[in-house]
Amino acid sequence: MQDIRNIVVLTGAGISAESGIATFRGPGGLWEGHRVEDVCTPEALADDPALVHAFYDARRAALARVTPNPAHLALARLDEEWGGGLLIVTQNVDDLHERAGARRLLHMHGALQSALCAACGVRRRWPGALPPGSICPDCGAAALRPDIVFFGEMPYAMDRIEHALGSADLFVSIGTSGAVYPAAGFVQRARQAGARTLELNLERSAGSAWFDETRLGPAGTLVPAWVETLLAP
């Protein structure tokens, strides 16, 4: 591993599956019983704010019933012990990476425990229920919404992610289907920068052909084994 210094890890819903959080496209292509278009688009929020707010309220409340699994814990260990560059980019909106102890972490699609003011743009920690019309403490507008990046909206921190991908020696994708862009394109960007690319997933993702290596299996087994090897003296 002497040639590896800078690592970028991308995680998706699959890393939290063994903690008991449903993936995006579960049975029947639904997310917790809903069509993705009905809960994850700006149009859905405009058409039926009560439904969309209630959906994320339920997801937020469910966080109290789950805990990080060995894959989250292994990435936190990597963060603690890896002396080189590291950026963990998660598409997940749960808080299991940070509860496991990861710090070099970025939520590119927002976070359940955060509220975004549609009027002034301020984001703030919001651990409780968020009914439509909640007042923004910063600007006073009744415009708080779940701080979730919907389809068609710009993910967070793309400059930082681009910078990290451009200097990555190793790119590792964990538990993501490779169906949601721009995240699905990170592997190609990392390859352009000369990084080795590794996929850890239950099944081959849509972009599997872009990876130098694919290991198939549950994240709770594959990720600790990969981290162990990487950190071995």
Q: Which residues pair with 170 in a beta bridge?
A: 7, 196
Strands 105-107 and 7-11: unpaired
User: How far is Cα 134 from Cα 81, in angstroms, rounded to an integer?
Assistant: 41
201 contacts ligand NAD (rule: CB under 6 A): yes
User: How far is Cα 126 from Cα 147, in angstroms, rounded to an integer?
Assistant: 9
Q: Which residues pair with 7 in a beta bridge?
A: 86, 170
Q: Which of 6, 7, 10, 24 binds ligand NAD (CB under 6 A)?
A: 24
219 contacts ligand NAD (rule: CB under 6 A): yes
Q: Is 163 a catalytic residue?
A: no
Q: Which token pair is 157? A: 């921190």
The residue (of 109 and 145) whose beta carbon lies closer to ligand NAD is 109
Restricting to residues 80-109, which ones interact with ligand NAD according to CB under 6 A? 91-94, 109
How far is CA 40 from its chain centroid? 15
DSSP-based three-state secondary structure for 201: strand
The residue (of 79 and 147) whose beta carbon lies closer to ligand NAD is 147
Q: Which of 179, 192, 213, 228 binds ligand NAD (CB under 6 A)?
A: 179
CB of 123 to ligand NAD, least distance (A): 16
Active site residues: 109
Binding site for ligand NAD (CB under 6 A): 12-14, 16-18, 21, 23-25, 31, 91-94, 109, 175-177, 179-180, 201-203, 205, 218-219
